[in-house]
Amino acid sequence: MTGPGKRRVRGNQPLPVAGDVAFPDLDARLPDFTPDPGTAPLPRMLLAQAAIELRLALRHGEQILLTLIIPVLLTLLLVLGSLVATDGSSRADYFLPGILALAVVSSAFTGLAIATGFERKYGVLKRLGATAMPRSVLLGGKTLAVLGIEALQLAVLSVLGLALGWQPRGTVVGAAVIVLLGTAAFAGLGLLLAGTLRAEATLAAANLVWFLLLLGGGLLLPLSRLSDSAAAVLQFLPSAALADGLRAVFQDGSALPAQPAFILLAWSVLAFAAAVRWFRWE
């Protein structure tokens, strides 16, 4: 017979009961389910946030209108039309560098500021602020997403310009450096605007600044078309530095124009430092 605490016997060997036997080999093969909380590495967080921001931007119809449709229409209007006189060079060579600069401003400043401002209003950034993601990763992810949008913009505009007779000079590397510096400068300014003003004020200010830079910021028309006193001041605007840098590369064949690059670098450092310091989640 068997009972509590007793073993049932088979032949001369007692059979084990529950609790008597350990399985060291089986225990060694079991996975460790001990919780190990912690944040993901910063590069992984940055890339994940950039991918999400890029997908959201490409699904937004108003952003596509601002960043792609308007620059394409301006290219067709200015190159094929005769509303604005040039300096004697072909119309495509004269206007394409400024339109490329305008595309960067549209994405990195206006579109980014408006989208981020309304994310603050609707509480999206407040919820992100409650996660382990630091503020710098949010700002960096948005900037990387802008670079993805700009790659599409510049590819479309370049193909269109070449079809209209554009003959760029200089190097792609020099133009890429100017675009990267311009993107950093305007992304910092856009995030600073969106992180400090109400959404409606951000919408109005971003559109107003875009319009003013379009007309008097050296984008479509070079500063040489203005008076010397005005050009001496406006040359330090990031829009003028961006457009002048692209003109120096594509029209004059410069490898990397020093003054526009230094101006954009200074704006980038100051704008991002201010955005990181004063950006508010709500």
Output the pTM of the full model.
Answer: 0.81
Residue 192: pLDDT band (50, 70, 90) is very high
Percent of the chain with pLDDT over 90: 40
Residue 5: pLDDT band (50, 70, 90) is very low
Domains of the chain, residue spans: 43-278
Give pLDDT tens digits for 248-267. Answer: 999 888 888 999 999 999 99
Please state which of the ranges 39-43, 55-59, 93-97, 221-225 shows the lowest mean pLDDT: 39-43
What pLDDT score was predicted for residue 26? 52
Please state which of the ranges 13-22, 61-70, 186-195, 227-236 shows the lowest mean pLDDT: 13-22
What pLDDT score was predicted for residue 244? 94
Mean pLDDT value across residues 20-49: 68
Task: Pull the structure tokens for residue 253.
Answer: 């064949």
C-alpha 232/C-alpha 137 separation (Å) is 37
Give pLDDT tens digits for 193-215. Answer: 998 999 999 999 999 999 999 88
CB-based contacts of 229-237 (< 8 A; 24+ apart in sequence): 235/263, 236/263, 237/213
What pLDDT score was predicted for residue 274? 92
Residues 6+ apart with CB under 8 A from 146: 57, 107, 108, 111, 112, 183, 187
Give pLDDT tens digits for 216-246. Answer: 888 888 888 888 888 888 899 999 999 999 9
C-beta atoms surrounding 262 within 10 Å = 12
